[in-house]
Amino acid sequence: MGIVTQSVRFNGHAPPLERIIEEMNRIAGLPLHVEESSAEVKGKVFDLHAKIAFNCLRSHGIEVYTYLPGSVQRVIDGAGLSGPGLAKVVEGGREPPGTQTVVLRGYSGQELSIMYAAVLALESLGGTARTPVDPKIREEFGTARSSTQLKLKAARLRLFGFFSVVMAILFFPFILAYMLIAIIIAAFGYRRRLRRE
């Protein structure tokens, strides 16, 4: 299972979690389940850290977080890894001064209504998404939906995932046979070249 991320940058400080939740409720029209992380989890790195899901679909939640200004660079420096290029590739290490980025993290294969509701809510609060939201997706996810609709979409995704696994298992022997034949042909070709030399 892969990770799916999206980020929304704010000039100045990002809105508080309560405001984000309020806006997500307005857009999606469904109650949310929110688990805000403790101070121990946040430590000296995170300003905001929480898990958010629709009440009706808690297994398809996302993680929402922001870094404290300069905290990622302090961690890099404290680990003795400071270098000009490292901050560019570490998440949160290249945040321009005077901005704060809200990072949304989910997983591939999940029902993404919660992710899009969060992105649209953050945009409506003045943020700019790293990857612009396609107008079709904006139209589809920018309106309220029912819990039944979400559960049906999640069930379809589960069914598609199950079907994909079954197909992979069924085709695996053919793929393996193809690879073995390709290796044998390559080995004979290499052997012929060696004889000619």
pLDDT tens track for 13-29: 999 999 999 999 888 88
Helix axes 113-124, 17-28, angle to 10 degrees: 120
Task: Give the model confidence (pLDDT) of 157-194 as tens digits.
Answer: 566 666 666 677 877 887 888 888 888 888 877 777 77
Percentage of the residues of the chain whose pLDDT score is greater than 70? 81
Could you tell me if 69 and 160 lie in one domain? Answer: no
C-alpha–C-alpha distance, residues 174 and 164, integer Å: 16
- Stated as kind and residue range, the H or E segment containing 134 is none
Residues 16 and 112 in one domain: yes
Give yes or no: residues 20 and 113 share one domain: yes
Same domain, 177 and 187: yes
**E strands in 86-170:** 99-107, 128-129
- Tokens describing residue 117: 């509701």
134 and 150 co-located in one domain: no
End position of a domain, from candidates 126, 144, 162 = 144
* Amino acid identity at 61: G
Higher pLDDT, 144 or 196: 196
Secondary element (H or E) of residue 74: helix 71-78
Structural domain harbouring 184:
146-197
pTM surpassing 0.85?
A: no
133 and 42, same structural domain?
Answer: yes
